[in-house]
Amino acid sequence: MIYLVLGTIAFSAASAFAWVLNVSLKTNQEFLGTRPWSVADEFHLENYANAWTNADVGAYFGNSVVVSITSTVLGVVVSAFAAYPIARIPFRLNGAVLAVFLMGLMVPWMVTFIPLYLTLQDLGLLDTRIGLILVYATYNLPFNIFVLVGFLRSLPGELEEAAAVDGAGPTTTFVRVILPLLGPGLASVTIISFLSNWNEFFYALVLIHSPSKMTLPLGLFQLGQAADYGTNWVTLFAGMIITALPVLILFALLQKQVTKGLTAGALKG
């Protein structure tokens, strides 16, 4: 029964993706004048070229690449340096500091829009890619720290003792001893953070106003509104395929690293 349910979910998701791919290869007349599941008579690959150039999907794609990669790297680096002392260096407020970070997982994202908007407005970062990068990097910190703390606590404590005997301080120990062993954990939070940043829509909708700075989800929203009034549906579906392919390929190639990093902290030794 479990495999039947999972197979049904997988089939429905694959069917939806296949339908979008099929529609993206039709003409607008064919899409509006034929049955929804009819296969395209010819594959109109020029729809992707039109979406990339005429519909500015190429510009949206570039913005998403810059924002997603930069915010992911920044968030993972800060998370790693925050998780190490919490997990490996005992101090009185150790648990309290971790609890403060984890409280970020319990704050509904809807209540953060107005404070973030006003803060970025005061800092002069509203409607800028830098402001969106800082928001994305901060948004991923609680989950990243939670995963990395669990992974770091699974490493043997003798590592720091051996490094201390050789005269290494905490920073040197982290960079030269702990960081190389943190690969699976870093890989998992990096991939998950990138996928989250790539697909994020609501923060971009609130904080970005200029079309030249829009990311792909926001750009697709604009294309969807244009399709409602201009019936240029195939360009919208071509843009959806362009948006989905990078994350599908990334997750297909690195899903084992994600699973390994998320489960490694559950085992000791």
Output the average pLDDT for the chain.
86
CATH of 61-208+243-264, one of 1.10.3720.10, 3.90.1150.10, 3.50.50.60, 3.30.465.10: 1.10.3720.10
Report the percent of the chain where pLDDT is more than 90: 38
Arithmetic mean of pLDDT, 241-248: 87
Helices 216-230, 57-88: crossing angle, 10 deg rounding: 150
pLDDT beyond 70 at 16? yes
Of 20-24, 46-50, 186-190, 251-255, least confident by mean pLDDT is 251-255
What is the structure's pLDDT at 75? 94
pLDDT bracket for residue 166 (50, 70, 90): confident
Helix (H) or strand (E) holding 105: none
Arithmetic mean of pLDDT, 125-137: 93
Every domain of the chain and the residues it spans: 61-208+243-264
Phi, psi of 201 (to 5 degrees): -120, -45
To the nearest 10°, the Cα dihedral for 245, 249, 250, 254?
A: 160
97's tokens: 């500091």
Report the alpha-carbon distance of residue 146 to residue 152 in Å, rounded.
10
What is the structure's pLDDT at 268? 45
Arithmetic mean of pLDDT, 36-45: 84
Q: Taking a C-beta distance cutoff of 8 angstroms, is the pair 216, 198 a contact?
A: yes
3-state secondary structure of 36: coil
What's the number of CA atoms in the CB half-sphere (13 Å) around residue 64? 25
How far are the Cα atoms of 23, 98, 129, 253, 262 from residue 126, in angstroms, in the given order?
A: 37, 30, 9, 35, 34
Report the alpha-carbon distance of residue 219 to residue 267 in Å, rounded.
43
Other Cβ atoms within 10 Å of 88 Cβ, number: 19
